[in-house]
Structure 1
């Protein structure tokens, strides 16, 4: 028998070439391969999109947290630095004059009426027409409960002699000025919120007579309450009174109550019940009305705790000095506080406080000799 296979016939029955093999794949194999290629392409697109998004966020956010070359409060010349120390020493060395601040306050519009308000709330204090923070309308029951856990709600025992107050602001100008030893010599030292003392004694001093706080701004560090006589709550909402009761009684709030704070709040402050007070919100109310005469228009703002501290000092002391007050908006990248990394543009963006009106009023108080600005930024 003769086998006749031509070359052409062999080629037609041989294994398909690579280019032809694709055409011979089953529909299932072709579908899986195309699906895999599709998803690989989608993941590549997603990765590229995420990379571009992170790049954009980095370009916007990172510069805000990096140190800039813009001038800061700490760039004072040697002459300016020594002038601040000399001015502070001169204020402390001269005799204290009884009633000095109150007498000069008569020359500043409407502020003398602030001196007729009880500083801290006591049982039966006040008839409220406004809700917090300018009153306590609707919170009377919670207030009564909070006052029952405070053994002392009036003024603490201060020296009967001529008293000097130092209101320590949180401004960046305080950084590097070495005023701590001077600050500690004052009879009453008022601080605000969580402005630190521990680690900043050289610039900010180590003693605290009264610290004005609200729950979200109370320090979590136990050492910040050392050498502290009074922690005074500034009520911004009804829940703040419940928080104070829980802190005094050493009974943390429920998780449900904590959800209504805009940030975490401290559960414990290592002080005795007799060290707590509630600031009279009438002080904020009347101060707010005075600030409206300095502002450009009627607004839904509230006084800063710094300015509230100044009003408190005017009620308690014969002479009042300030350190760490003043904002320099010409340099938005400069330090806002004497601690931390927050920049001045943060305060420029806020709408809760009318800092321009407060600055104008503080300037008038300094110009009239009602208060003394040790660091010289007002």
Structure 2
């Protein structure tokens, strides 16, 4: 029987060597060399893949720490000990929020004006603090271990599926007007505190927060106090003095409103970013709300994890910077924030093990 190639089939009973196909020595050598080249290229490719993965693993090990802590154990004192290595004269004795009693009789007047102090704003603070509060909810204050997640607004949260993990923390701190509605799978739904300033306030705080969420005003300028006073007391709205029009109607419960102690802005600027407290008006730089939130957590929590921090590479003009909107890094060019300087500060925290990262940085 003939095979399709035209060669004869050899029966098992006979072996006709003359009819068997032969490979001449030169052809065999060529085949061996060809296979050797293929194997060599394959080996080189595998080495390159291994190196790339190994390099990525080293990067991830440095700046990405998946959640592994056991809830039954608490690293009490670890944050304080490591924070003292980074923040000179670190202390937890300062209150997180401004208190009314401090403005009836100011024993130590603030050295700085806003955003690093309250010098010159004492009168309006008396009025504001009489209708707001300063207390931390007892359910948080009494925790033996305060496990905190600071959720940034970065693009890295998109499609991260981090929502369930974020919701497991005792304290979840969010920033500005970043939404949770519609993004729960990636960013979670729990919000213990939301830091904001007038221009970044969500027009409907009840939509994007829990009923008991603390709405923490970060005061950058005196006009911020005037905006809040007008809103809470339903006075004539302040329209000038803002780089962007803040909400004219802001339906918030005054009992949930807090005013952040400017001390933490001072610590962030002076001790993490080495910024002078008094700067020429034309070159003013201020910390972002995100870095400020991390600083706040370092002074209150026993465990600090972050998610959604980090900006795209400066050469990438098209990558969006937030998980919920399409603005790019170009929008930061005119801001008063030095994002590369802040990235170095956060990387230093990661290297010290002071904070841990739930998303890539």
TM-score normalized by the length of structure 1: 0.70
2:258 is aligned with 1:274: no
Q: 1:246: how far off?
A: 2.9
Residue pair 1:114, 1:311 contacting (<8 A) in 2 also: no
Could you tell me which residue of structure 1 aligns to residue 294 of structure 2?
310
CA 1:293–1:359 in structure 2 vs 1: closer, same or farther (change >3 Å)? same
Could you tell me which residue of structure 1 aligns to residue 96 of structure 2?
119
> CA offsets, 1:86-127, max 9 Å, x none?
9534246673322221122222242x5253432110121662
Unaligned runs of 5+ in 1: 1-78
Q: Distance in 2 between the 1:162 and 1:262 partners?
A: 40
Aligned ranges 1:1-378 → 2 under 5 Å: 87-91=65-69, 95-110=73-88, 113=90, 115-123=92-100, 124=102, 127-150=109-132, 152-157=133-138, 158=140, 159-221=142-204, 222-249=206-233, 251-254=234-237, 257-293=238-274, 300-329=284-313, 330-347=315-332, 349-377=333-361
Higher mean alpha-carbon deviation, 128-137 vs 178-187, is at 128-137
CA 1:294–1:129 in structure 2 vs 1: closer, same or farther (change >3 Å)? closer
> CA offsets, 1:280-333, max 9 Å, x none?
1121122211144489xx862111100000011111110000000111224221
Which one has the bigger helix percentage? 1
Q: 1:215: how far off?
A: 0.7
> CA offsets, 1:6-37, max 9 Å, x none?
xxxxxxxxxxxxxxxxxxxxxxxxxxxxxxxx
Q: Alignment length, in residue pairs?
A: 288
CA 1:321–1:94 in structure 2 vs 1: closer, same or farther (change >3 Å)? farther
Q: Distance in 1 between the 2:163 and 2:240 partners?
A: 38
Bigger radius of gyration among the two: 1
Residue pair 1:207, 1:228 contacting (<8 A) in 2 also: no
CA 1:87–1:367 in structure 2 vs 1: closer, same or farther (change >3 Å)? closer
Q: 1:351: how far off?
A: 4.2
Residue pair 2:151, 2:306 contacting (<8 A) in 1 also: yes
Q: Distance in 2 between the 1:334 and 1:155 partners?
A: 38
CA 1:291–1:140 in structure 2 vs 1: closer, same or farther (change >3 Å)? same
Residue pair 1:179, 1:203 contacting (<8 A) in 2 also: yes
SS in 1 for 2:224: helix
CA RMSD in angstroms, aligned pairs only: 2.5
Residue pair 1:163, 1:318 contacting (<8 A) in 2 also: yes
Higher mean alpha-carbon deviation, 153-162 vs 299-308, is at 153-162
SS in 2 for 1:107: helix
> CA offsets, 1:332-370, max 9 Å, x none?
2111001110012322x1340122221111111111111
Residue pair 1:120, 1:280 contacting (<8 A) in 2 also: yes
Could you tell me which residue of structure 1 aligns to residue 31 of structure 2?
none
